[in-house]
Structure 1
Amino acid sequence: MYQLYYYPNNASLAAHFLLYHMGLDHELLLVDRDANLHKSSEYLTLNPAGRIPTLIDDGQAIFESPAICIHLCEQHPEHELIPALGSKERPLFFQWLAYLNNTLQAELMVRYYPHRHTTDDNSIPNIIAAQDELIASALGVINDQLADKEYLLGCQISACDFFLFMLAEWALPIEKSPVTFQHLAAYLKRLSLHPTIKAVCEMEEISLEPFEIG
């Protein structure tokens, strides 16, 4: 049985989608962020970065959301959430997962935690404004990718799509939010109707109403 240390609507959401979608035997272990338990000595023995999520697989702790997603997909290739080794789509899987994590998610983290990136609180509004533009630019790249594709990699859903849906939900408060982009909005509406996304979002009490457009 897998164990996923999670917090609702946190970076654990992508892994939660995958565990549910593949029907894997798992246990959800809530890490109370409000009580700062992700910084507790007990949790730090599993995840020295002190962040959520952490996955336990047969006693081995794995942290960082993309690494967890890749591991789950490769452990269960029959679900085809990662392209097969040697396929032309496989490098594109890693390309988009890296882009989502290193660009879109990274910019979102600066936007929502600007105080971590300055010693001058007066500069925070400028950081937020700059981040909003960078996030919109990243969303534009993804929107263009979806102009003629049902999913990020083409006609088949992958772990990248579940990861993107997680980040798109976080980006909703941005002025140029994901639902203001034509192709991305249509894609997110389709995903919001996916049984896995509906079920997991209901469990984590995440509203899908913003994606019900058009």
Structure 2
Amino acid sequence: MTEYTLFCAPDTYAMSAHAILEHVGADYAPHWVELFQAAPDPAFLAASPHCRTPALLGPDGPIFETGAVALYVAEKHPDSGLSIPQGDPRRGVFLQWLHYLATTLQPDVIIQFHPEFYFADTGDQARLKTASMERLEGVFATLESALENGPYFFGDTSTVPDFILATQTIWDVIFPDQDITRYPNIARQRDAIYALPATQRMVAQHAAERERLQQKA
């Protein structure tokens, strides 16, 4: 029996936790789910009450929310170096970026994909996306500055926030004019994460599941 089960759907926020599980060499198995189902997978619902990915089932029980799952796995595998431990003077900044990505970046990323979550009227949806993109410009300017001495938030050392950021910036639609090259430090960081063997293994698994779903349709 594997130690962890990762509830995931292809090309979703689950990518960050999935890549981290690969990176730390965890004993895990992906449990692929379909989102927005009237009758969701019961095991998935038990692990994630809002049926959002990722969710993780492990020896300590279920955990949901991207940052929580990613940090939990990293701290269960301290030799990976993906977490900044308590007592390290960088710990505060590490937590800062972890929460910034969840509370400041992620909500506006979701709006770019799903404005219908907030408004039924298409005109209101368009106005929301425009306002959200204006906020994203400021967010990306902040992240671009933070990564100046990169490629990662902490120089040459990748940590949890790097995986969480890179698996969102892979979606060009979240950038003004869909152009990441306006932010060369963010582009460099994304390229560095996606060059890692663990991330490449994650991408291959998501591609295989996406192809399976296309064949099934």
TM-score by length of 2: 0.86
Q: Distance in 2 between matches of 1:72 and 1:59?
A: 11
Q: Distance in 2 between matches of 1:170 and 1:37?
A: 27
Quick one: which of 173, 185, 188 aligns to 2:187?
185
Q: Which runs of 5+ in 1 are unaligned?
A: 207-214
Q: For the Cα contact (< 8 Å) 1:136–1:177, is it kept in 2?
A: no
Q: For the Cα contact (< 8 Å) 2:6–2:54, is it kept in 1?
A: yes
1:46: Cα distance to partner? 2.3
2:63 is the alignment partner of 1:62: yes
Q: Distance in 2 between matches of 1:152 and 1:81?
A: 11
Displacement over 4 Å in runs of 4+: none
1:45: Cα distance to partner? 2.3
The residue number in structure 2 matching 1:4 is 6
Q: For the Cα contact (< 8 Å) 2:35–2:52, is it kept in 1?
A: no
Q: Distance in 2 between matches of 1:59 and 1:147?
A: 38
Q: Which has the higher contact order (CA 8 A, sep 6+)?
A: 2
Quick one: which of 18, 23, 30 aligns to 2:20?
18
Identity of aligned pairs, percent?
23
The residue number in structure 2 matching 1:209 is none
Q: For the Cα contact (< 8 Å) 1:46–1:54, is it kept in 2?
A: yes
Superposed CA offset, 1:7-49 (max 9, x none): 0111111110111001111011000226x17845553222212
Secondary structure at the counterpart of residue 29 of structure 1: strand
TM-score by length of 1: 0.87
Q: Distance in 1 between matches of 2:144 and 2:150?
A: 10
Matched to 1:19, the amino acid is L
Task: Note the aligned Cα RMSD (angstroms).
Answer: 2.0
Q: Which runs of 5+ in 2 are unaligned?
A: 209-217
Q: For the Cα contact (< 8 Å) 2:166–2:189, is it kept in 1?
A: no
Q: Distance in 1 between matches of 2:171 and 2:125?
A: 19
Aligned residues: 205
Q: For the Cα contact (< 8 Å) 2:7–2:55, is it kept in 1?
A: yes
